[in-house]
Structure 1
Amino acid sequence: MNVVKKLVKYFFYLLIIVGIAAWIFIQNQKPTYKGELELSGLQEKVTVFYDSNGVPHIYAENEEDAFKAFGYVHAQDRLWQMELMRRIAAGRLSEVFGKDLVRVDKFMSGLGIEEAAYKTIADLKKDTPSYKLAMSYLEGINQFIEKGTTPIEFRLVGLEKEKYTINDIYNVFGYMAFSFASAHKTDPLLNEIKEKYGNEYLEELNIPIEHLTLLKSTKKEKISTEFIEAINEIVEKLPVSTLEGSNAWVLGPEKTQNGKVILANDPHINFSQPSVWYQNHIKTPNYEMYGFNLALTPFPLLGHNKKHAYGLTMFKNDDVDFYIEENNPDNDLEYKTPNGYERYKTYQKTIKIKNAKDTVYELRVSKHGPIMNGLIDHLKDDRPISMQWIYTHLPNKLLEVGYNMSHAKSMEEFKDGVAKIHAPGLNVMYGDADKNVAWFAAAKLYKYRDSLQRKVYLNGASGKDEIQEYLDFSENPQAINPKSGYVYSANNQTDSTANFRYPGYYLPEDRARRITSLIAPKFNFTKQDVATMMYDVQSPIVTEVISNAVDAIEVASLSTTEKKALEILIQWDGSYTKNKVAPTIYNRFIYEFLKNTFKDEMQGGFNQFMNGAPIQKKMIAVQMAKTKSVWWDNVNTNNIVEDKSFIVNASFKNAILFLKNQLGEDISSWTWNSVFSVEHEHAIGKAGGVLRTIFNVGPFETHGGNEVINNHTFTLDSTGVYKVKSGPSTRRIVDFSDINNSMAILPTGQSGNRFSKFYKNQAESYLKGEFVKMYLNKAIIQQSEDRLVFLPAMVEE
């Protein structure tokens, strides 16, 4: 008995020791939000006040000190995120996650992002403010690597910390530009449709094709999906956020109750943990900016101070083109040009793999860009396909752009900075205390010959399909203080550019129509009105889609349950609220409709069509409004010619049958929240089990849907369960009538450190449509309990 008692006592002591050790470990893992730290290279003391949401308010006597401190505090909250971001473009994810990421690394490392960065960095002027502040920022990050704790993620995957360089900043710029682009998700599929089924099928997708072409046509041959599926797999496996869409509007003084400008912006980005944006407020005697920064970016893409505010949406212009090259039949290291054969540039690329041998591949690059056949394994197309991307072809001034936008003293200075953007294409929104509002479609735009369709593969050998002219920024779509009194952007098609409609991958008009319908008639907007509008979930389009569908439905053939479901759809106002049944019925019906319309032709490419191609969203309303279409007829049925009535009725009946099997006979239980949820996944939490519980945030029921203002996007697929992929990465309202109390919210929290109190403290508020203040008032900021002071490090003699 005494032995048992002793064992129990020792076990109890062991538990205490383990508990104490765990407590000490956790305390050491937390970011340092108060106290004093030394930073080498500081000229003066820097004080950082952390507000109640973990936002650092950095007060310094000069900008170089401020950015050094910013680098340190950014790293202690987001070092793991920085590490992943810098590895993507460099093809170094396999070093962390093993062989499953080799395909991703091979593709990303072959795009030329690093090579373009080397050229840019070699030409950078080292005496410019933008360069000096970027280096100060990097120095702050590297001092945290030396002095700060190692994030738990590094320990879990066995990764050693490495110092950061300016190359890493440009790798993040490159990844950002890649994630904005849509051509790689769309063009291979459209080209396959054209080649296998002909021009008529593309023309019905609103993609006119010139009929004279040198490309082969093997009508109704099976579509090759290797390229399409590989791109989809690569995007799905990326462990950090990709950028999707966005809303923004800026209300001029005549539209607001207080006669001052209000800016609203909510960039739509894939949800992940940590959230994509890191908030910060920097104040020196000559500079102030409350900014939202991506990992490893010294200057904010979203920002405001007491003088001006800016935000962005994705322009969605086409800046990627694919070419079919023609190899020399006697030497496949050469390709045909109008001036004879030229030799491909070739590179040996090495990918390091965790717990496995390195892999080496050869990359070939034509004058247009890298050959995709070498980047995507098992691509069966025997023609060399190259990718031309403006981001890697033209000088990169994004570091200078960030500096100019955040340091502009006037709207003209701001515009001059925006004009330097070449890629990715951005709609930059602007408002200021002088009552100006503006929108600039910022990108280096260019022209090809008339009638050339850039959404299918171009002829690389002829010389006829080359860029003919780069446009001056003055010809880009833009508006300054328009008569309407406001500007807006929702990734919709912009106005004409140089007298033609600029090609792109614009999203449907749903959100744009809803935004303008709410803004146009109202002239007394308050900050709270804008906040309510940003949480709006009503679609102006779905009621039109339903009306056009109902015209084709044979009501007499419906069962009692089907009639009840149809009546629910007819009475629906298009609002995606949690307790409504109509969104559940509608989305299953639309999935069946798209499947029955397009899958027989697209085959394996149908998944990509549903999971990434913007054209799918645009085609829902367009296709439902048609009475005749080549897409209705199923190419796999020989004795039947399907029409709209057949497709719509079969789709509706299939949808109701599916929902009865999925959710039961009681239609009232088919509520939107029974199939719709959001979870913010951490790269390590994706492994599932206890790691999911520790690192992920959620899952939660949520409020919203595809292409409403509170845009919570999901993939329509066979499961009937809709997991939100992306949404507002921040909701942000800057009101110049009350600039000290402008508002924002993040989807989870400010910190990426799992042991920080700011890891997920905003998650519940975000889901409710609530906001927190973005403080600029020093008197209020100084009341914070969390105060971190950076002192110049003592120099040892």
Structure 2
Amino acid sequence: MNTTLRVVAATTCATLIVVSAVLGGSYLGLAAPFSGDVYESIARGPVTGTERVENPYGRATVRYDEFGVPHVSAANEKALYYAVGYVQARDRLFQMDLQRRLIGGNLSAAFGERAVESDRFYRKMDFRSAADASWRELEGTEAGAGLKAYTAGVNRYIDTGARPPEFALLGYEPTRWEPADSLLIGKLIAWRLSGNFADLRRATLKSRLGPEATSELYPDSMAHDTPIIRNGSDAASFDPAAVATDASAAGADGGETAGDFAALYDAVEPFESRSGVGSNNWVVSGENTASGTPILANDPHLSLSTPAVWYEMHTTAGESMDARGVTFPGVPFVIIGRTADVAWGVTNVGGDFTDEYTYETRNGRYLYDGEYRKFETTTETIPVADAPDATVEVRKSVHGPVIERGGRTVGVAWPGFSATNESVGVYRLNHAETMADVRDALRIWDVPAQNFVAATRAGETLYYPAGQYPIRVTDGEVVRGDRIFNGSAGEGEWPGYTPYGTSSWSGFVPFESIPHVDDPDVLATANQRTTDDPPFYMGTSLTYSEPYRGARIYEMLDARTADGATPEDMLAVQRDVRSQAAVSYATIARNASAGLSPDARELAAELEEWDGEMRADSRGALVTHLFREEFVNATFADEFSAAGLDAEYYPNPYVTAGLAADSQWFDDGRTDATETRADVARVALERTADRIDRHGYETYGDVNRLDLNHPFDREFLNWPERPMNGSQYTVSNFRSGGDNVGSSWRMVVAFGETPAEDTAKGVIPGGQSGVFWSDHYHDQLDEWATGEYKPLTLDSPSGDPDIVFESDLSGSGGVSA
């Protein structure tokens, strides 16, 4: 690196961010390469005056508001997105670079040997080729020109802007941005939300515990009565058999591939969608609000990071677009947000969108359609910093990428490996003026399948779980997807799916036939199952979330809409910390009083008066939180340990709490007695008492703490640590331990009769800036942690712009770049 760039980097020190779990996990464990003296010596003087930047597409302006949110305005969209690219790179360049390195399998070049296994996985899956395929589809669309201009803006900053010092400290330079890099980040988000290996997990459970036990602990459907769609769907009729009739899949008996896949699952589990990462959203029609106009709310739950996962922005292009909300750095369009007359929010559907296929192999070839074929194979070199380069063999079958471990060779199918159009969908949402515009956007949405709720000023509401839902076909028959298929026999194939190419999607559910609700009065989603009786296979209890949050949201909405809901009601729902999961386990604990030690009996007594709220200052919340962990472990440790399965395989707490009091799972096979639920509860309560005593815990806030540290782990870089309300199972969502996971963005939009009468609020955990001395490094953290919000209006700040983009800078004053 030349001396000039080192100096530039040193004068603009920004924070080194951890790639969050939704964006790849904090497993890098980076250590500061230099002492704190290096940081203390860095000059911190900001650029003053209006910054002026050349823009080949025309004039644009950027005004930062009091929270560091850029309000970007231009006369045309190319000029706008050029400015957006420049501004995102200015604020989050290193984060953007890490994301594309992660998903592209190129982290080792910066971070050394610790990242090689991650790089091997992502290269084997070849997300890069999938992003390239998507760019070929996107380039000629209405969104393509904007993405090109955005790319040029990012590169303008890379060429002329001040380097974040991470590049100098780690000894590498960012390469130029490409349009496919933005789509690559989109693939990363989509995979982290919908890519899972639940079928490998289920197969291993069946081989270790047996089919009956697996069916009991991991049922097709959890026994609750709170699906998303409570009162019927408006979907068009659909006969999955029609897809099978037209399919040309090879034939077999349609049976499930049996066997133990534990070694393979253990290898890929760190890279699948994370258990317990979910979101809430809901929409209330004007018929149920005090104002007579709709209200929409959304809070996606993702792994929290420094800086924040989301980047907020307000983009305006003449009369054609006025959008505000959040996006992922590296993506030019608002993903969750609003326009002047439309608001939308998303949660993850949580269905089954990934299938695995085994093969009969011989001499390095695999059997398919009656012949042994060569795997499409390439050998790639992985550059590794401060170590010899590594290599990886990338293999693909007709179904997609191939993964191998423990003697198992498995092909993986996922809609996102094909060319997909969700970027066009987001672009259209940014221009939406009516609900018809929203439908046009969702009609082409491919991955990840998302529970969209939308509302318009005109009074329309909508729920649509948009995405590509595969229909699996074996020997001309439709089959479920919760199994591992015999790929050599053509079992479980998806007609119309082409990995790394253009899919026709002919064997997928038509858009009109996806269960949805037009103009719902009150509808809420929290990653629970979509509907009780779907017309096609959608997922199982291994892919959907427990009903705790969904049931609680519906309970509160039903109560608050009876007399007309207000925006304040919706804010209160988002702040709710009552845990139905904790209440159910507290009941189990209270029934375990017989034979308890004095300390354990005291804990059980404390739960008699507990209100069920997971508040940081609550003793009852502490007790029930630890008790649930100990109860689940005491229930399953003996059987699972004997089967060679660790706690990662335990069933979810909803299923566990629903077991009969005399279930065989409560009996400890290591004793002569026959234990029941009450016996296990007694053991768990004693262990809880001992744990509280050993660690000196007083309240729930002692264990549930926000702890987001800069990976260089310097006090002035770390965000303030604090006790937190909420849990994994509360609407106001937060959990600590390993990754901090919680509400990564909170938004409520209540339309008025006119824009001036709108109530719109939002907040992110942390701040907009990655620059640690910035006023916006974590200036929203207090508001977020305490349930406060800031305005989310479409007004732009007054006064002189912070940045002016012009096609001709000759004779201009101010600071130029």
The alignment's TM-score, normalised by the length of structure 2, stands at 0.83
Helix, strand or coil for the counterpart of 1:467? coil
Query: Could you say which residue in structure 2 is the equivalent of 1:341?
Result: 372
Following the alignment from structure 2 to structure 1, what is the Cα–Cα distance between the partners of residues 49 and 185? 30
Residue equivalent to 1:257? 290
User: Corresponding residue for 1:79?
Assistant: 93
Tell me which residue corresponds to 1:416: 440
Deviation at 1:464, TM superposition (A): 3.3
Report the Cα offset of residue 91 of structure 1: 0.1
* One-letter amino acid of the counterpart of residue 654, structure 1: R
How far apart are 1:740 and its partner, in Å? 5.5
Pairwise CA distance, 1:471 = 0.9
Q: Is the counterpart of residue 301 in structure 1 residue 335 in structure 2?
A: yes
Q: Deviation digits for residues 169-188 of structure 1, max 9, x if unmatched?
A: 1210111111102523x433
Question: C-alpha distance in 2, partners of 1:561/1:585?
Answer: 12
Contact 2:348 2:527 survives alignment (8 Å): yes
Determine the structure 2 residue equivalent to 1:151: 164
Q: Which amino acid aligns with 1:406?
A: N
Going from structure 1 to structure 2, the CA distance change for 1:295 and 1:517 (only over 3 Å counts) comes to same
Which residue pairs with 2:58 in the alignment?
43
Deviation at 1:317, TM superposition (A): 1.2
Query: Which of the residues 478, 482, 487 maps onto 2:516?
Result: 478
> For residues 564 and 226 of structure 1, what CA distance do their matches in structure 2 show?
44
Shift in Å, 1:704? 0.9
Distance 1:150 1:425, change over 3 A: same
Instruction: Please tell me whether the aligned partners of residues 749 and 758 of structure 2 are also in contact (alpha carbons under 8 angstroms).
Output: no
Answering whether residue 602 of structure 2 is matched by residue 569 of structure 1, we say: no
> Where do 1:295-444 residues align within 5 Å?
295-328=329-362, 331=363, 333-373=364-404, 379-380=405-406, 382-392=407-417, 394-444=418-468
Give the counterpart letter for 1:579 in structure 2. Answer: D
CA gap of 1:207–1:741, structure 2 versus 1, over 3 A, is closer
- What secondary structure, in the 3-state scheme, does the structure 1 residue paired with 2:805 have? strand
Question: Who is 2:727 aligned against?
Answer: 705
Measured after TM superposition, the shift of residue 561 of structure 1 is 1.9
Moved more, 448-457 or 312-321: 448-457
CA contact (8 A) 2:200 2:261 kept: no
> Helix, strand or coil: the match of 1:727?
strand
- State the alpha-carbon separation in 2 of the partners of residues 478 and 678 from structure 1: 37
- Aligned pair in 2 of structure 1 residues 63, 451: CA closer, same or farther (>3 Å)? closer
Farther-moved stretch of structure 1 (283-292 vs 738-747): 738-747
Task: Name the structure 2 match of 1:766.
Answer: 784
Alignment CA distance shift 1:674-1:23 (3 Å): closer
| CA shift for structure 1 position 192 | 1.1
Q: Does 1:792 align with 2:807?
A: yes
Which amino acid in the other structure matches residue 771 of structure 2?
Answer: N
1:200 paired residue among 212, 233, 245:
212
Q: Quick check: which one's helix share is greater?
A: 1
Deviations 1:186-207 (A, max 9, x none): 4333221101221011111243
The correspondence of residues 83-162 of structure 1 with structure 2, limited to 5 A, is 83-126=97-140, 128-162=141-175
In the alignment, the residues of structure 2 paired with residue 365 and residue 707 of structure 1 have an alpha-carbon distance, to the nearest angstrom, of: 39
Is contact 1:676–1:724 with CA below 8 Å preserved after alignment? no
Q: Compared with structure 1, are the counterparts of its residues 123 and 529 closer, same or farther at alpha carbon in structure 2 (3 Å cutoff)?
A: closer
- Structure 1 residue ranges without an equivalent (≥5): 1-18, 218-222, 374-378, 664-668, 715-721
Report deviation, 1:723: 5.8
Q: Is 1:694 matched up with 2:716?
A: yes
Displacement of 1:645 in angstroms is 3.5
CA separation of 1:565 and 1:102: change in aligned 2, threshold 3 A: same
One-letter identity of the residue aligned with 1:488 = A
How far apart are the structure 1 equivalents of 2:199 and 2:804? Answer: 52
Q: Which one of the candidate residues 22, 26, 29 is aligned to 2:43?
A: 26
CA displacement at 1:312 relative to structure 2:
0.6
Work out which of the residue numbers 693, 700, 717 in structure 2 matches 1:672.
700
Q: 1:646 and 1:367, CA in 2 relative to 1: closer, same or farther beyond 3 A?
A: farther
How far apart, CA to CA, are the structure 1 residues paired with 2:133 and 2:297? 37
Task: Report 1:160-171 matches (<5 A).
Answer: 160-171=173-184
- Paired residues of 2:49 and 2:802 also in contact (CA < 8 A): yes
Are 1:734 and 2:746 matched, yes or no? no
Name the SS for the 1:110 alignment partner.
Answer: helix
SS of the residue corresponding to residue 775 of structure 1 reads coil
Give the secondary-structure state (helix, strand or coil) at the position aligned to 1:422: coil
Q: Secondary structure at the match of 2:707?
A: strand
Matched, 1:491 2:527: yes
Distance apart, 1:453 and its partner CA: 5.2
Aligned AA (2:580): P
Does the aligned pair in 1 maintain the 2:485–2:491 contact within 8 Å?
no
State the TM-score, normalizing by the size of structure 1: 0.85
- 1:646 aligns to what? 679
Aligned twin of 2:488: 461
Structure 2 Cα separation of the partners of residues 357 and 702 of structure 1? 44
Residue 280 of structure 1 is matched in structure 2 by 313
State percent identity of aligned pairs.
25
Change (3 A) 1:739 1:42: farther
Pairwise CA distance, 1:498: 5.2
Q: Distance in 2 between matches of 1:503 and 1:384?
A: 24
Runs of 4+ with deviation above 6 angstroms: 19-24
2:574 to 531, 534, 552: 534
Q: Which ranges of structure 2 fall in alignment gaps of 5 or more residues? A: 1-35, 222-252, 496-506, 812-817
| Residue identity matched to 2:493 | E
**SS at 2:147 equivalent:** helix
Closer, same or farther: CA 215–140 of 1 in aligned 2, 3 Å: closer
Against the structure 1 CA distance between its residues 701 and 208, is the aligned structure 2 distance closer, same or farther, given a 3 Å change threshold? closer
| Cα shift readout 1:206-247 (whole Å, capped 9, x = no counterpart) | 4369x9956456xxxxx77433443344579xxxx9992111
Shift in CA distance, 33/735, structure 1 to aligned 2, threshold 3 Å: farther
In structure 2, the CA distance between the partners of 1:125 and 1:98, relative to structure 1 (3 Å rule), is closer
The answer to whether the 8 A contact 2:124-2:395 is kept is no
Q: Give the alignment's Cα RMSD to 1 decimal.
A: 2.8
For residues 254 and 688 of structure 2, the distance between their equivalents in structure 1, rounded to whole angstroms, comes to 42
Matches of 2:640 and 2:383, distance apart in 1: 36
By how many angstroms is 1:350 displaced?
A: 1.8
Q: Is the 8 A contact 2:283 2:522 kept in 1?
A: yes
Whether the aligned pair in 2 keeps the contact of 1:42 and 1:793 (CA below 8 Å) is: no
- The 8 Å contact of residues 302 and 310 in structure 1, kept in 2 or not, is answered as yes
Shift in Å at residue 495 of structure 1? 1.4
Q: For 2:716 and 2:40, how far apart are their aligned partners in 1?
A: 16
The CA deviation string for residues 735-769 of structure 1, in whole angstroms up to 9 with x for no partner, is 21256651111100011222322111111111111
Name the amino acid aligned to 1:362: E
Alignment length, in residue pairs? 721
The residue identity in structure 2 corresponding to 1:533 is V
Instruction: Name the structure 1 match of 2:648.
Output: 608
